[in-house]
């Protein structure tokens, strides 16, 4: 089972690296948009010195990887090496793919979207493509006051600044847009689309509402012990996770049994368990 899981993760890293490379070669690189990191730096160097983007990315990642092994240990492992290598190879292999648009806004948005989708798949498989995250970890090692998140921001700011100096500041502004779009798509893929809602229900009819949810909606319900701060009264709070399509039905159930119930609804990015990601029937246990 573990071998199959590892193979699936490496397959995801390969697929994600390929998709990410398309964002570079078909949208960002041809339009001189450097969306931060090693790929952005390779884009700038490509136009300044004629260096191939893919092999430049690999050449920049090698010293980072060696320094990572020396100073950080082998914790970031083989997946980073594989991801960085495949991302570079695919970028070089797809460099002659057709450029779909030379419109700066379209290339920025779609390039950032496709790059982010590819990297999100890689990160979801617990992999990495090296680049800014590795550089940021090294910065954090030598200057602990700078967090890894701040280090990534510093690296991206530096690369996009080079883009502005090498070409023009309008391109640098587009590069920030591409970086923002790719970051949001990475988060979306890692966290999942908001397809579920967590609902907390405070009601005097908690038992009746729970039974109706279990029997009619076939969703699991949990009782959480709570105590009112003002009244000091002990009572149960119902917690239930439903899909977005089921939310309206749940509200009707609550309103039917207790129109005065206090209900809190918030987004759930990912649900693992019965009735959701694993595809099993929902539990009916309280």
User: What is the distance between the alpha carbons of residues 171 and 110, in angstroms, rounded to a whole number?
Assistant: 15
CB atoms under 10 Å from CB of 3, counted, come to 7
Delimit the domains of the chain by residue range: 2-191, 196-268
Let me know the angle formed at the C-alpha of 279 by 113 and 209, rounded to the nearest 5 degrees.
105
User: What is the distance between the alpha carbons of residues 4 and 272, in angstroms, rounded to a whole number?
Assistant: 20
**For residue 262, what are its two tokens?**
């206090």
Cα-based distances in Å from 150 to 4, 49, 100, 159: 36, 30, 34, 14
Domain 196-268, CATH? 3.30.70.120
Per-residue pLDDT of the chain (286 residues; tens, 9 = 90+): 578 888 899 999 999 999 999 999 999 999 999 988 999 999 999 999 999 999 999 999 999 888 888 887 765 678 888 999 999 999 999 999 999 999 999 999 999 999 999 999 998 887 888 888 788 878 888 998 887 667 888 889 999 999 999 999 999 999 999 999 998 898 888 776 656 889 999 998 999 999 999 998 888 999 998 888 878 888 889 999 998 878 888 999 999 999 999 999 988 877 776 666 544 444 433 3
User: What is the distance between the alpha carbons of residues 145 and 125, in angstroms, rounded to a whole number?
Assistant: 29
């Amino acid at each position: 089972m573990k071998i199959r899981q590892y193979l699936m993760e490496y397959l995801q890293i390969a697929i994600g690296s390929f998709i990410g490379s398309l964002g570079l070669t078909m949208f960002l690189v041809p339009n001189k948009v450097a969306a931060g990191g090693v790929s952005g730096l390779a884009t700038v160097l490509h136009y300044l010195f004629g260096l191939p983007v893919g092999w430049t990315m690999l050449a920049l990642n090698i010293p980072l990887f060696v320094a990572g092994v020396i100073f950080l240990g082998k914790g970031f492992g083989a997946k980073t090496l594989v991801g960085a290598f495949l991302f570079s190879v695919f970028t070089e292999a797809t460099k002659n793919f057709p450029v779909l648009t030379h419109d700066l806004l379209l290339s920025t948005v779609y390039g950032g979207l496709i790059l982010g989708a590819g990297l999100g798949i890689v990160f979801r498989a617990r992999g990495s493509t090296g680049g800014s995250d590795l550089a940021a970890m090294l910065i954090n090692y030598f200057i602990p006051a700078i967090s890894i998140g701040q280090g990534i921001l510093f690296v991206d700011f530096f690369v996009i600044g080079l883009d502005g100096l090498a070409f023009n500041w309008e391109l640098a502004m587009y590069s920030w847009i591409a970086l923002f779009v790719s970051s949001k798509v990475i988060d979306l893929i890692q966290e999942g689309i908001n397809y579920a809602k967590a609902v907390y229900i405070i009601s005097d009819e908690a038992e009746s509402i729970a039974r109706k949810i279990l029997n009619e909606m076939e969703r699991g319900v949990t009782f959480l012990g709570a105590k009112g701060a003002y009244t000091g009264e002990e009572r149960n709070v119902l917690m239930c996770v439903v899909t977005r399509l089921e939310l309206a039905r749940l509200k009707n159930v609550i309103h039917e049994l207790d129109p005065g119930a206090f209900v809190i609804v918030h987004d759930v990015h990912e649900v693992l368990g019965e009735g959701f990601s694993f595809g099993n029937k929902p539990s009916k246990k309280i």
